[in-house]
Chain A
C-alpha cells in the first residue's frame, strides 16, 4: 500500500528524518511510536504532502507521491487527522464534513448558479453521506454547532469523521487520543478497528501503549529520525533498545 524508501528530511542542519524505510501493507493497522521529538509528525507531514522529503521516495499503490501537492495525494485516497486539532473553526460540524467531501463532488459554480438538477442531487447525496458519518461517530446531536464550540472529545471525533469523509484507502491518525480519558480512548480504539473491518489501512501515531496493543498489527518505533525497531506490539514492548529510548540507559 504505502512504501517509504530512505526518506530523509533536513531542517537546515538538523536531520528530522534520516533514511526511514517503512512498508505499510494493505488492510492493516500499523502503529508508529517514539519519544517526543522523534520525527513522527514530520514523517506524517511528508507522507500526506504538507511537507516534502529532502531525499528518498514515498509510493502509494506504486505511484510516487513525495513530490505531489497535498490535494493530489488526497485524490489518490489518503486522509489524515492532526495532533493539534485543526478543524475549520468558523464552520459547523456538518460543514466541516461537507468540505472534506470536495473530491467526491463534481458540481461547479455554474451548476450552482443555474440550479442544475444534478447539483441538488449531489448536495443531497453529500449531506446524507455526511449525516451517516456523523451518526457513526456519535456527532449527530452537534451537527449544527460551530467546530470551535465543540467539546474537546467531539473535536477529536470530528477530525476522524472529516478524514473518513474523503473516502480514503489509507488514513493517518496523529495522536487521535491525546487528552482523552480511558473510556473515550477505548471508543477511538473501536473506531480504528471498525475502519480495518471496512478495508481501510491505518497508520496511527500514538503514545498510549494499551491502545497500540489493542488495535495494531505491527508497530514501528522511531527515535531521532530513525527506525529503531519493528514488530508486533508485544515484541516491541520487550525490545531493550525501545525501553532504553523511552526510559534511558540503565547505569
Chain B
C-alpha cells in the first residue's frame, strides 16, 4: 500500500521540486529563504484549518492545540519508531481528528465568544498535558485502575515502559533531534491537493449546507440540514488539517516545544484566515502566505519591522474588511451565465500573465522569458491595476461597469508589447513573450464577453 502510494507520489514530488527550484532561488533573493517559504506554506494550511470551522459559523480557536497534537505525534513516531513523513502525516491527522470528535460534540453546542473561550481552554489543556505528560504517564502507568489501559498506549510511544522515569514529550525542553523530512515540494503538493478539496467542497451539497449554517443556523436546520453533524464534520476536518500542519512543522524544525503552540499561535492562525479573507477559500491560503512573509520582507528594518507589520495589518483591516481576497472577486464573477464564462477567460489571462512574470523557467536552454525588465514592470502593474479596479467596482451588480477597464487593460497590454518588441526594447522574442500576449488578449476578451449585450 505504502509502496504503491510512494511510487505514485514520488514522480509528482520530483517534478514539483524541479519546478520550484528557480522560484525558490528568486524568492531567496528578496529575503524569503527556503525555511521561510516552508513556514509560509504551513501557515497557509493552518489558515485553511480555521477557515473550515469559521466557514461553518464556528468561532473556534482550538487549532493551535490540534497542531500541537499533530506535531508531537509526528515527532514521537519519527524519533521512536523511525516513521516516514507519510506515516507521521497519516497518524498525526488521524489522532488529531479522533480527539476532535469527543471535544467537538459537547463544545460545539456553544456559540460565538463562548465557543472561542471554550476552545482556548482546550488549547491550554493540550499544552499543559504535553508539558506534564511524562509525570502523568508515570502516574497512570502505576495506577491500578488506568494501568492496563495506559500501558499499551504508552508502549506505542516509548520502548521501555517500565523505566522509573518516562521520557516522551520531555516537558518544557521539548523533543529534539527530530529528523528533517519536510520538503517544500511536499507542502506545495499538499496545498494543491487541499485547494482542489476546498474547491470541490464549495461546489458540493455539503459545502452549501455549511455556508447555510454560517449564515443562519436555525433557518438552515429548518431547510433539512443536520446542523450538529455538519458542524462536527467541519470541526474534525479543521483539526486534521491543523494536525497535518503540526506534523510538517515538527519534521521541519528539528526541535519542538509546547510553548510554540499556545494562545499566541491560536491568535496568529485566526489572523491568517481573517486578514486573508473569509469570503473565499483562497483567502486563508493567501493570508497565511502573506502574513508570514511580511515580517521577513521587512527584516531590514530591524527593530521597526514589528511596528510596520502592525501598520500593514491595520491598513488591511480598515481598507479591506473582506480580507485580501476582496481584491480578487469582482461582482460580475458572482453573476453566472455569460459572466461565468468571462470570469474563466479573464482568470486564464491573468494566470498566464502572472506565470510569465513570476516564474523564470527555462525551456530548451533558452529562457522562456524573452524580456526581463519591461515585462516584469508592465506585467505586474497590469495585475495590480486590475485588482484595484476590481476593488472599486466590487459593489456593482452589472458586469458592464467592469468590462470596459478590462478591455482597456487587455488591448493596451497587447499593443504596448507589440510596440515594445518592434522598437527593440524586448531583447529577443521567446515563448514568454507570446504567452504574455495571449494572456493579455484573454483579459481583454473577458472584458468584451462580460460587456452587456444591449450596450454592444
Contact = CB atoms under 8 A, between A and B. Distances in A.
Contacts of B197: 113
B425 interface: no
A73 B335 CA distance: 34
A201 interface: no
Given A107-B204, A109-B201, 5 more contacts: A82-B219, A90-B215, A91-B215, A108-B205, A162-B223
Contacts of B218: 50, 70
Interface string A88-110: 11111011001110110101110
B334 A99 contact: no
A100 B212 CA distance: 9
A170 B221 CA distance: 17
Given A112-B203, A112-B206, A149-B397, A103 B211 contact: no
B211 A69 contact: no
A118 to B, nearest CB: 12
Interface string A29-72: 00000000000000000001110000000000000000001110
Contacts of B336: 92, 94, 143-144
Given A50-B222, A74-B223, A144-B336, A98 B208 contact: yes
A79 B225 CA distance: 12
Interface residues of B, number: 31
A99 B209 contact: yes
A48 B219 CA distance: 10
A113 B196 CA distance: 8
Contacts of B212: 88, 91, 99
B196 to A, nearest CB: 8
A108 B219 contact: no
B220 interface: yes
B211 A71 contact: no
Contact of B204 (A71, A103, A112): A112
Interface string A139-150: 000011110010
Q: Is the interface of B mostly helix, strand, loop or mixed?
A: helix
Given A88-B212, A144-B336, A71 B200 contact: no
B206 A108 contact: yes
Contacts of A86: 216, 219
Contacts of B334: 92, 144, 146
Contacts of A98: 208
Contacts of B219: 82, 86, 88
Contacts of A50: 218, 221-222
B201 A49 contact: no
Interface in A113-154: 113, 115, 119, 122, 143-146, 149
A144 B224 contact: no
B152 interface: no
Contact of A99 (B220, B226, B337): B220
Interface string A223-245: 00000000000000000000000
Nearest to A115: B200
A103 B337 CA distance: 27
A26 to B, nearest CB: 21
B341 to A, nearest CB: 13
B221 A102 contact: no
Interface in B288-337: 334-337
Contact of A91 (B196, B200, B203, B211): B211
Nearest to A69: B221
Contact of B216 (A88, A105, A113, A122): A88
A66 to B, nearest CB: 15
18 contacts: A48-B222, A50-B221, A70-B221, A70-B222, A71-B226, A74-B223, A94-B336, A98-B208, A99-B208, A99-B211, A99-B220, A100-B223, A102-B225, A105-B205, A107-B205, A112-B203, A112-B207, A119-B204
A108 B226 CA distance: 13
A75 interface: yes
B227 interface: yes
A48 B207 CA distance: 24
A157 interface: no
B215 A80 contact: no
Nearest to A75: B224
Contacts of A107: 204-205
A144 B204 contact: no
B221 A166 contact: no
Interface in B333-392: 334-337, 339
A156 to B, nearest CB: 15
A122 B204 CA distance: 10
Nearest to A143: B336
Interface-central residue, B196, B211, B226, B227, by most chain A CB under 10 Å: B226
